[in-house]
Structure 1
Amino acid sequence: MNPVTANVKFYQALLQVSGWESMPVTLAAQTVQASAHPEAYAPWEDAAHAMYSEFKGARKELTTDELSQISSAGRATAVAAGGILPDACPPAGGEHGPLAPGPFGQKVIEAASRWLGTEYAWGGGDVNGPTRGISDGGGAADAHGDTGKIGFDCSGLTLYAVYQASGGAISLPHFTGDHSNPGQLYDARGQDIPFDQKQPGDLIYFGSGGSTHHVGIYHGVTDGQDMLLGAPQSGDVVSIQPLSNWAGEEMYVRRFGDQPTERQPQ
């Protein structure tokens, strides 16, 4: 979230894109960012061109007045073009506004991604967002002070994401699931998916013999690696990590909102 770091990383990635110099600005940006909203770049294009022409080469010599001009010019151009300003109030539909139209799985990812960087809290999370953690009876959660944190645990995040993606139609239990307590794994509204047919937005449960202890959201492939979005453990935060971090565990894939297939633990 550091602006300098974000800019450096963007341009480093842009330089790896073949033919970026001849691309429309919006296409170049989308090629790097892979945004779920590729149309969102266009309202800022005129402002970007105008500010570049006016201030290119100024580097650190910009005065306070010039910085103010940049801000004013950008805001005026964006408003005229129908853009959304960074500090604008979110649209109606909750703290973060409604999810963008699209496949169910993408909505699951979008909902959970709203909380990247949020602290893990044992027992935390409901259909509305993060909540205060609870005691785990002297275990890792208590050792990390989870009762004093506002956040999510693994199943708290997935129940939130599925609820939001379904528009409130699917409210999952706050438990991953085992033979004594069906939880999310055995919820009839989810469908069993073979591991090799998993898609972004599917939930992946981890355990042995049908009893699970962890869940995350399949995020897709990055740099050749399967990635998992989730709340990993006490002391950690909501993040996207390699699925290989859970290598050796049986994995059960569940999909909400699509056709059923048979479960194949891996």
Structure 2
Amino acid sequence: MLAVAARYLGVPYRYGGTTPMAWDCSGATGYIFSQVGIDLPRTANQQMLGSTRISRSQAVPGDLVFFTSGGSAYHVGIYAGGNMMYDAGRTGTSFSKRAIWTSAVSFGRVA
């Protein structure tokens, strides 16, 4: 999963985007997971609801990392291990590998 994610470093962010032309956070995770035969729902919150919640200590590279507020996920990335993730951040940024900036995250695993 991480090798696939690394191929897309630099893809520009675009809200609602779902392809390597430009994508948002859940568009990126959905596209990258589809490259290994796993279909994910469209939004970060739907991806969280469709995954099996695991603890941070159980998380392995390739799991999903969710940023939540009020019980709903507003952002998602692919856990890279060592407190790092791949994600599409926001307008003006590109798909990158960066540190998870808060401890207020949850992790999910998909089959």
**What is the TM-score normalised by the length of structure 1?**
0.40
**In 2, Cα distance between equivalents of 1:160 and 1:111:** 10
Amino acid at match of 1:216: G
Q: Indicate the percent of aligned positions where both proteins have the same amino acid.
A: 38
User: What runs of 5+ residues in structure 1 fail to find an aligned partner?
Assistant: 1-107, 131-149, 178-182, 258-266
**Correspondence list, 1:1-266, <5 A:** 108-125=1-18, 129-130=19-20, 150-165=21-36, 167=37, 170-177=38-45, 183-187=46-50, 190-221=51-82, 226-243=83-100, 245=101, 247=102, 250-257=104-111
Q: Deviations over 1:42-91 (max 9, x none)?
A: xxxxxxxxxxxxxxxxxxxxxxxxxxxxxxxxxxxxxxxxxxxxxxxxxx
**In 2, Cα distance between equivalents of 1:227 and 1:163:** 21
What is the CA-CA distance between 1:152 and the residue it aligns to? 1.3
Q: Deviations over 1:214-260 (max 9, x none)?
A: 00011112xxxx111111111001001111x2x15x31211122xxx
User: What runs of 5+ residues in structure 2 fail to find an aligned partner?
Assistant: none
**What is the TM-score normalised by the length of structure 2?**
0.90
> Larger % of helix: which?
1
> Aligned to 2:81, what secondary structure does the other structure show?
strand
> Aligned to 2:77, what secondary structure does the other structure show?
strand
> Aligned to 1:185, what secondary structure does the other structure show?
helix
Moved over 2 A (4+): none
Structure with more contact order per residue of length (Cα contacts < 8 Å, sep ≥ 6): 2
Indicate conservation of the 8 Å contact 1:121/1:151, yes or no. yes
**In 1, Cα distance between equivalents of 2:109 and 2:9:** 22
> Larger % of strand: which?
2
How many positions carry a matched residue from both structures? Answer: 111
Q: Deviations over 1:152-172 (max 9, x none)?
A: 11000101121112x2xx322
- RMSD, matched Cα: 1.4
| Higher CA-based Rg | 1
**In 2, Cα distance between equivalents of 1:217 and 1:155:** 10
What is the CA-CA distance between 1:208 and the residue it aligns to? 2.2
